[in-house]
């Protein structure tokens, strides 16, 4: 085993399992899903998502008529992205790519493999030129520059093929590093639609059962209404705003002599507190 393979094996097996799940096949749903949520990298594991890992996930999914790919990645290794792009093109399913947050750089190339591309709310696509590092002589540097020019032309070709646009125009967008909001991606032809967020019911519908509707006092129509808040002075004697079992103590013992009045909170009875709250207009 090479030194690189050993290092990859060691780090992959030390990484926590959830951290290594940048790619996942979900087969329990009515329509199988492939999740790509990490950098694109040939090493895979904790380094990102490799084409080999995507191929393994597609093998788990098998031949299905429809496949959803959920994509959120800042990009990474261009050639791994091209491999994933071509693997999705070869798959027999109708592929719908959902850009859940970001499809940048190599990930944007992956997104172009979808038969349909759906942008999530707030999602973006970013296109830019490839980059590389070279160590060597002047001829090595010049050869790398030629390779990068060819690669950048290929990158522009992915976007032109999807949008039906001109390669030269897309080559300029790539050169400038261009960011597209969800709506701009649709307008440019990179995506087909912006996903409509699910609606959440904020209030019961008008034809809801009576027990689900509240009146102004916080009562449901199916229950007896509580008395309206009382703003007048509190009752003398037993409180008339409370049930009998709360307004006066139920005891057969002789009534003890009342203690002297005090401002201490401990000397305030529960009934007095309730009456005070009602007097102040507080609904209990």
The model's pLDDT over 21-40, given as tens digits with 9 standing for 90+, comes to 676 777 766 789 999 999 99
Query: Which regions of the chain are under pLDDT 70?
Result: 1-21, 23, 28-29, 201-284
CA 16 to chain centre: 22
What does the DSSP assignment read for 226-258?
PPPPP-SPPPSSS-TTS-HHHHS----SPPPPP
CA 131 to chain centre: 30
**Residue 68 in tokens:** 């959803």
pLDDT value of position 225: 47
pLDDT value of position 2: 42
- CATH topology classification for 3-128+177-194: 2-enoyl-CoA Hydratase; Chain A, domain 1 (3.90.226)
The model's pLDDT over 156-183, given as tens digits with 9 standing for 90+, comes to 999 999 999 999 999 999 999 999 999 9
- Identify whether the C-beta of residue 267 lies closer than 8 Å to the C-beta of residue 259: yes
CATH 3.90.226.10-classified regions of the chain: 3-128+177-194
d(CA 107, CA 22): 13
pLDDT value of position 260: 52
d(CA 177, CA 81): 18
Looking at every residue in the chain, the average pLDDT score rounds to 77
The count of other CB atoms within 10 Å of the CB of residue 16 is 8
d(CA 160, CA 181): 18
pLDDT value of position 27: 73
pLDDT value of position 122: 96
């Amino acid at each position: 085993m090479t030194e690189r393979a050993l290092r990859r094996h060691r780090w992959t097996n030390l990484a926590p399992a959830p951290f290594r799940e940048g790619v996942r096949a979900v087969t329990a749903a009515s329509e199988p899903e492939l999740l790509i949520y990490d950098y694109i990298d040939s090493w895979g594991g904790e380094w990102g998502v490799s084409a080999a890992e995507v191929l393994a996930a597609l093998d788990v999914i098998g031949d299905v008529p429809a496949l959803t790919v959920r994509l959120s990645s800042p990009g990474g290794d261009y050639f791994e992205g091209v491999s994933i792009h071509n693997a999705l093109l070869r798959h027999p399913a109708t592929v719908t790519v959902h850009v859940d947050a970001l499809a940048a750089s190599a990930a944007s190339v992956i997104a172009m493999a979808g038969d349909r591309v759906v942008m999530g709310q707030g999602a973006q696509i970013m296109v830019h030129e490839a980059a590389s590092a070279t160590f060597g002589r002047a001829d090595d540097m010049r050869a790398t520059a030629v390779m990068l020019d060819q690669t950048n032309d290929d990158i522009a070709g992915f976007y032109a093929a999807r949008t039906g646009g001109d390669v030269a125009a897309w080559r300029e967008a790539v050169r400038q590093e261009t960011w597209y909001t969800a709506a701009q991606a649709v307008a440019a032809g990179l995506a087909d639609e912006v996903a409509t967020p699910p609606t959440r019911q904020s209030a019961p519908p008008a034809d809801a059962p009576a027990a689900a509707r509240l009146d102004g006092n916080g009562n449901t129509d199916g229950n007896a209404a509580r008395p309206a808040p009382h703003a007048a002075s509190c009752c003398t004697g037993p409180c008339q705003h409370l049930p009998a079992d709360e307004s006066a103590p139920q005891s057969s013992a002789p009534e003890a002599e009342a203690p002297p009045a005090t401002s201490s909170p401990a000397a305030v009875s529960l009934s007095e507190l309730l009456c005070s709250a009602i007097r102040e207009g507080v609904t209990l």
